[in-house]
Chains A and B, each alone.
Chain A
């Protein structure tokens, strides 16, 4: 209890900022807008106002950057501040490693999408990857270097698709984050990372099934350390989806996987499963609304903002592409407020 008082200032400041989160009705209004200029006008009422001549694309990064800077501002120590920045490091690492592999296959490198929000500055990250000095990565557990070497080696030998970089680096990332949360003694962060691991594993299970991958592939890419033992998922991989649902029947994910399995069997694409996963995450984090002292409101706010930005992207890019209102409404994720 005493420990949680460390976040009293942070949690209260975040509570104030929760007021600026956009309700579902706002997104419906945005979807109903007759033109993109009306969308611009509606956005001006919120924190997402954009200047004349600016493209909508600037919104996502600007708001993510602002959210991260607020969160880093309110958190009491550097280790916690870094904890929430590692996701950007791993994103940059993924981009750079993929670029490195593609360059070996004769393609041009493209570093435009790197984001300077992680704990390692972009320049340094580029130099680490280009000079293969992986020991300088923030994921300082000694085996991380071997994981990356092994990954690069396998990718080169087997000419695997670069999307495998994501799967293997996610594994490295989540193991590192779980370890960090444990070392900091933050039980909520441990639970949160475990939840993310489980959700990632469930999605990987469906992805692997969708792409018709082998059982050994799945056991290679599933992440350990979640609430659900990943071996149980591997065991039922080749059976029908009913056994998968049964395996998770007594876990908190029973409702989620039932819906996912039903959609999968109907032949729906993975994007609709992804939506269910996002909704599950936000619904679970809604309990943080009742926590007054602790890190929970801060984590929930970050996720809520991420989801809000995702929703805005869905609506705005959808409108640019001329998608119908029905499709856009269907693709919207739940909101936190």
Chain B
């Protein structure tokens, strides 16, 4: 395997790894808050589960970006494409938006979800608003993914 391919694989690993870390931390924070509510009021399970799952999307975006990179360099089909060092580096850099934004926004969304879980603990009638607040954080994770996809598309092999 060429060094350029290894660099591109490093990009795929960063995309999936960083975004996955963000999601796991976020889901963890929201889960702890969820357990607090469910101890007192198990009937709120449905809503709590939704709010806990919200920070999980960053991990999926990271995985998607990782697949796109693997597909681009032919790692999925087993037919590795020959890359120059510059192309390998460009792919690795293209992976960064989804990875970094996924890490930061995953934690931030977890915190907002946990706060929203506290909101529904006190005011279950405000469930709609409680879902919108953490969903706002999602925008930036989507933008990160969009940037990575556009950059990958722009790299000609």
Chain A residues with Cβ below 8 Å from B41 are 16
The yes or no answer to A10 lying at the interface (CB within 8 A) is yes
A residues near B63, Cβ cutoff 8 Å: none
A111 in the interface (beta carbon within 8 A): no
In the complex, whether A12 has a CB less than 8 A from a CB of chain B is yes
* B37 proximal to A (CB < 8 A): yes
Asked whether, in the complex, the Cβ of B118 is within 8 Å of the Cβ of A12, the reply is yes
**Contact B39 A15, beta carbon cutoff 8 Å:** no
- Is A18 interfacial (CB 8 A cutoff)? yes
Closest to A337 in B: B122
B74 contacts chain A at the CB level, 8 A cutoff: no
CB distance from B54 to the nearest CB of A (A): 16
| Chain B residues with a Cβ closer than 8 Å to the other chain, count | 17
CB of B92, distance to nearest CB on chain A (Å): 29
A19 touching B36 in the complex, CB below 8 Å, given contacts A5-B29, A8-B29, A293-B111:
no
Q: How far is the CA of A15 from the CA of B115 in the complex (A)?
A: 10
User: How far is the CB of B43 from the nearest CB of chain A, in Å?
Assistant: 12
A-facing residues in B110-142 (Cβ within 8 Å): 111, 114-115, 117-118, 121-122
Shortest Cβ gap from A288 to chain B (Å): 12
Q: For residue A12, which residues in chain B have a CB less than 8 angstroms away from its CB?
A: 32-37, 114, 117-118, 121
The yes or no answer to A81 lying at the interface (CB within 8 A) is no
Dominant secondary structure of chain A at its interface with chain B: helix
Residue A17 interfacial (CB < 8 Å): yes
B33 near A9 (CB under 8 angstroms)? yes
Total A-B residue contacts, Cβ distance less than 8 Å: 53
Which range contains the number of A residues in contact with the other chain? 10 to 19
Q: Are B29 and A10 in contact (CB under 8 A)?
A: no
Tell whether, in the assembled complex, residue A16 and residue B32 are in contact, meaning their CB atoms are under 8 Å apart: no
Given contacts A292-B115, A293-B111, contact A13 B37 (CB under 8 A): yes
Q: Kindly state whether residue A11 has any CB partner on chain B within 8 Å.
A: yes
> Taking CB as reference atom, which chain A residue is nearest B25?
A5
Q: Give every chain A residue within 8 A of B35 (Cβ-Cβ).
A: 9, 12
**Is the Cβ of B114 less than 8 Å from the Cβ of A16?**
no
Contact: A19 with B122, CB < 8 Å? yes
Task: Take A5-B29, A16-B41 as given contacts and tell me if A10 and B36 are in contact as well, using a CB distance cutoff of 8 Å.
Answer: yes
Do B37 and A16 touch (CB < 8 A)?
A: yes
Are A292 and B36 in touch, CB under 8 angstroms?
no
- B18-56 CB contact bits vs A (8 Å, 1 = yes)? 000000000001001111110111000000000000000
Let me know if A17 and B40 touch, CB within 8 A.
yes
Q: How far is the CA of A17 from the CA of B36 in the complex (A)?
A: 10
Tell me, in angstroms, the Cα distance from A15 to B48 when the chains sit together.
14
Pick from B29, B32, B115 the residue with the most CB of A within 10 Å.
B32
| A292-B114, A292-B115 known; A8+B122 contact, CB < 8 A | no
- Could you tell me the distance in whole angstroms from the C-beta of B106 to the nearest C-beta in chain A? 14
Nearest 6 pairs between A and B by C-beta?
A12-B36, A16-B40, A13-B36, A8-B32, A12-B33, A292-B115
Residues of A within 8 A of B (CB): 5, 8-19, 74, 292-293
Chain B: residues with CB nearer than 8 A to chain A?
29, 32-37, 39-41, 111, 114-115, 117-118, 121-122
27 chain-A/chain-B pairs, Cβ below 8 angstroms = A5-B29, A5-B32, A8-B29, A8-B33, A8-B114, A9-B32, A9-B33, A9-B35, A11-B33, A12-B32, A12-B33, A12-B34, A12-B35, A12-B37, A12-B114, A12-B117, A12-B121, A13-B36, A13-B37, A13-B39, A13-B40, A15-B36, A16-B36, A16-B37, A16-B39, A292-B118, A293-B111
